[in-house]
Amino acid sequence: MTIDQRIEALRSAMKAANIDAYIVPSSDPHQSEYVADHWNSRSWISGFTGSAGNVIITQDHAGLWTDGRYFLQADEQLSQSQMVLHKLSVPHAPEYIEWLAENLKENSTLGFDGKLFTVGQMDAFDKAFQSKNIALKTDHDLFENVWENRPSLPTNLIFEHAVKFAGKSKNQKLEMIRQEMEAQKATHHLIPTLDDIAWTLNIRSNDVDCNPVTIAYLIVGISETYLFINPNKVSDEMKSSLRKEQILIKDYHEIDGFLNDLSDVNTILINPATTSHYLYNQIKKAKVIQGKTISTLMKGIKNEVEISHLREVMVKDAVALTKLFIWLDKTLDERSVSEVEVATQLIEFRKMGADYFGESFGAIVGYNGNGAIIHYSAQKETCANIEKNGILLLDSGGQYLNGTTDITRTITFSPATAEQKRDFTLVLKGHIGLANAKFPIGTRGNQIEVLARQHLWNNGLDYGHGTGHGVGFFLNVHEGPQAIGPGATSKYATPIVAGMYTSNEPGFYKTGEYGIRIENLVITVEDDKTEYGDFLKFDTITLFPIDHGLIDVALLDSKEINWLNNYHQEVFEKISPYLDDEETAWMKNMCRVIGQV
């Protein structure tokens, strides 16, 4: 079926159900950023493969709402269908709700799958549509009948993530959660988010591409814990291991009845931002407390064992990237190399490192103009062939049993123009400014983000994405609760605390010509204690050189030059012992003192 044929099939199903408009989000019942194929309905109905966006289908309109990271990608992917791109003015804002409120007639019926929308989102719907008396039908997953050959739910086995990597046992983590539950007077805590479940129980799987999680729900009780999962995904050995910790296995679909059966003597803590409208409605008798998922902040603050492993994993990742860039340089002397081949070859080099599990996301390999597409995904049939001239942006990451990586480097294969050097150096200045940040405890990501943008702003330039996101430990590459970016949304307004693992990735994108991004990962660490408070700073732990060929040294001040030289010295000292003679010579040149040839 073409995209237009799929849209018409959905419209027929809407008519049969007396639904005037239907919302198709990007989420699953667990509010995941990246979803298992079974829930990839938005991509199926629209043809847009980006990770964020909402589709609205009415009888006379089909629209996709997404943000600036995906405008170029969406323009291309929607061009062969009737689907219309609605460009968000503010990233992540629910502007599609405003469109519905303006365009739906009074007494219309709006439909969607209530398992895919949260309690908080339902409150917003109620407020927006009340004046027009718009009815909400939340029990219709119309794709069940419309989507032929819809992928089934994944059935991959779960496995133990060893304490030697995790740093804390599942019993220790459950005890930490229960202490907080007791403080909030909760007898049960519902955890629907897959990364929180994986972290709490020290389990991993591969149900979602690049995210080592399993499809499940978790309810933590005062004495027992209930894991709702397809029993076929749990081996006898794992069942025995979980049972020892009073973790009981129940079928994934039994969570409805469990919540329904909780009596009025029970109090259950839920997060309205992650608990689906459907699940919330299954709680008939128990008292409900609305708050934050207890494990999220615990998971976001890496323990000393995890941090130690992360420093080790950066060495493995740097060795793989070194091999990749040397291979690319040699191969380009003989022939062109496709963007897809670069991504494939990088996987092979990462596989050489111990405890490698897979990519942490599909590598973004953008040559020249493709680099300006922020979340570009090269396809074998349409990708560019890289020649030994121009600029390449490579954003990639690995999942290792002992950590998750995410790194972006922008390199030039030929002498850069003055404009390219200026743009790159302004981004570099912002990267260094954030890397050198020192701030008091309680500081939020939106308070320090200007450090990364100020030099671009001073030249009338900017970029359309956040500057930093939390990163999991052998978990999701995008992880809360913290982030660095503009605005007052919860992730940007979360205080940054010691132990958090965050990206530093300012960029700049010139449509049709090139993209620039410099990304390292940092650990927040304690700094000075003064009469004015306790201060924190960032410790950059990613280890890989930054391309000299794109730097305009005249735009850097002495502090920035010292940072770059010190960083490159650290990279060489820590990586060179793992390289052969040829690789060492390459690394030495890449890490030379700035200003020297």
Nearest partner of 299 among 469, 439, 473, 73, judged by Cα? 473
For residue 152, give the DSSP letter: P
Asked if 581 and 443 count as a contact pair (C-beta separation under 8 A), the reply is no
Dmax over Cα atoms in the chain, in whole Å? 74
Two structure tokens written together for 43? 């991509």
pLDDT at 597: 43
Asked if 489 and 290 count as a contact pair (C-beta separation under 8 A), the reply is no
Dihedral, 406, 471, 364, 316 alpha carbons, nearest 10: 20
CA distances from 264 to 159, 223, 276 (A): 36, 18, 21
E runs forming strands in 237-387: 247-250, 267-270, 287-290, 337-338, 356-359, 364-367, 385-386
Sort strands 501-504 and 520-530 into parallel, antiparallel or unpaired. antiparallel
pLDDT at 596: 57
CA 441, 165, 345, 373 dihedral sign is negative
E runs forming strands in 116-239: 135-137, 159-160, 188-191, 203-204, 217-221, 225-228
Quickly count: other Cβ atoms within 10 Å of residue 108's Cβ.
Answer: 17
Residues of the chain with pLDDT under 70: 91-92, 596-597
CA 281 and chain centroid, separation: 29
Residue type, 515: G
The length of the chain is 597
Question: Own/partner pairs for 353-356, CB < 8 Å, 24+ apart?
Answer: 353/316, 353/317, 353/319, 353/320, 353/398, 353/400, 354/316, 354/400, 355/400, 355/401, 355/402, 356/316, 356/398, 356/399, 356/400
DSSP three-state, residue 472 = coil
DSSP three-state, residue 22 = strand
Please report, in angstroms and rounded to a whole number, the separation of the first and last CA atoms in the chain.
57
Nearest partner of 473 among 183, 163, 84, 229, judged by Cα? 163
Asked if 249 and 231 count as a contact pair (C-beta separation under 8 A), the reply is yes
H or E element, residue 56 = strand 54-58
Per-position b or e across 517-526, b if 16+ CB within 10 A of its CB: bbbbbbbbee
pLDDT at 323: 98
On the CB side of 447, CA atoms within 13 Å amount to 13
Residue range 73-121, pLDDT digits in tens? 899 899 999 999 999 887 667 889 999 999 999 999 999 999 999 999 9
Q: What structural domains and CATH numbers belong to the chain?
A: 3-146 (3.40.350.10), 159-299 (3.40.350.10), 302-565 (3.90.230.10)
Asked if 100 and 135 count as a contact pair (C-beta separation under 8 A), the reply is no
pLDDT at 405: 98
pLDDT at 565: 97
Torsion-angle region of 392 (φ positive above 0: left; ψ -120 to 50: alpha; else: beta) = beta
Find all residues with CB under 8 Å of 244, minimum gap 6, and list them.
Answer: none
Instruction: State phi, psi for 239 to the nearest 5 degrees.
Output: -60, -40
pTM above 0.75, yes or no: yes
Two structure tokens written together for 111? 């439909």
Distance CA 69, CA 52 (A): 9
CA 280, 281, 282, 285 dihedral sign is positive
- The partner residues of 392 in beta bridges, in order of sequence, read 367, 411
Would you list the DSSP string of 394-434?
A: EEE-EEETTEE--EEEEEESSPPPHHHHHHHHHHHHHHHHH
Asked if 363 and 399 count as a contact pair (C-beta separation under 8 A), the reply is no
pLDDT at 490: 83
Per-position b or e across 283-297, b if 16+ CB within 10 A of its CB: beebebeeebbbbbb
CA 111, 115, 120, 121 dihedral sign is negative
pLDDT at 489: 79
Instruction: State phi, psi for 111 to the nearest 5 degrees.
Output: -115, 155
CA distances from 273 to 27, 104, 139, 270, 385 (A): 12, 26, 19, 9, 43
Distance CA 323, CA 497 (A): 35
Asked if 81 and 2 count as a contact pair (C-beta separation under 8 A), the reply is yes
